[in-house]
Amino acid sequence: MKRLGTDYIDLYQIHWPDVTTPIPETMEAVAQLIKDGKVRYAGVCNYDAAQMQEADKHVMIASNQVPYSMVKRDIEKDVVPYCLEHQKGILAYSPLERGLLTGKLKPGHQFAEGDHRAGLYFFKNENIERTNNFLNEIKPIADAKGISLGQLVLLWTLEQPGITIALAGARNVQQATQNARAVDASVSNEEVQTITNALNKLQLVK
């Protein structure tokens, strides 16, 4: 904390559930940090609903940071309902599905050496093509607002039930600025529904 130039941490997130340490033990340590005034709120990352429930018995969990994007909606099954019921925040990470949902990738894209995306099923040629077809379908909504597809995707993400924050990543200043400016625009309920209807037809191959 000295190196961060702070006396306390607002949200202290356990990065992944640690399979070698029981959840109560981890949470008791976090509870102690809160008691000591070093941490204000406890958060978790990549916890499922059952793990959140277990953690909640020992310290009040404020939030869960989990993967969520238009093409990765697993948390809608249990994490979102749990968080809505118990008033937890959700920090959705990789909301652009690592660039796929900006529409800039074309089938045959060659990732640089060491880029982990090359091995992910999202980036199979077939999936890039299917995703781009879907993005083309919703592009008129983005065009009418004068925003990029990525910005529209971020707006849709923020409108989903239970989603508090979209943790968009960026490789450079331009991307960071464009992503942050997404919230200068807005989407209506009707537009969200139109996008969701188109999205529900999109199926990726694993």
Phi and psi dihedrals of 96, rounded to 5? Answer: -95, 10
Measured from the CB atom, the residue of 21 and 193 that comes closer to ligand NAP is 21
In whole angstroms, what is the distance from residue 66 CA to residue 155 CA?
17
Question: Which residues 153-172 are close enough to bind ligand NAP by CB under 6 A?
Answer: 167-171
Question: Which residues 58-77 are close enough to bind ligand NAP by CB under 6 A?
Answer: 65
Measured from the CB atom, the residue of 183 and 193 that comes closer to ligand NAP is 183
Measured from the CB atom, the residue of 152 and 168 that comes closer to ligand NAP is 168
Q: Which of 83, 179, 187, 191 binds ligand NAP (CB under 6 A)?
A: 179
CB 88 within 8 A of CB 120: no
Q: Does residue 120 belong to the site contacting ligand NAP (CB under 6 A)?
A: no
Size of the site for ligand NAP (CB under 6 A): 22
Measured from the CB atom, the residue of 63 and 178 that comes closer to ligand NAP is 178
Span near ligand NAP by CB under 6 A; candidates 26-34, 88-96, 133-141, 157-165: 88-96
Measured from the CB atom, the residue of 95 and 162 that comes closer to ligand NAP is 95
Contact map string, positions 95 to 114, toward ligand NAP, x by CB under 6 A: xxxxx--x-x----------
In whole angstroms, what is the distance from residue 70 CA to residue 154 CA?
9
Name the 3-class secondary structure at 82: helix
DSSP 107: T
Measured N-to-C along each axis, helices 149-158 and 189-199 cross at an angle, to the nearest 10 degrees, of: 110
Q: What is the number of alpha carbons within 13 Å of residue 67 lying toward its C-beta? A: 8
- CA nearest neighbour of 155 among 173, 43, 145, 72: 145
In whole angstroms, what is the distance from residue 196 CA to residue 186 CA?
16
Contact positions vs ligand NAP (CB under 6 A): 15, 45-46, 65, 93-99, 102, 104, 150, 167-171, 175, 178-179
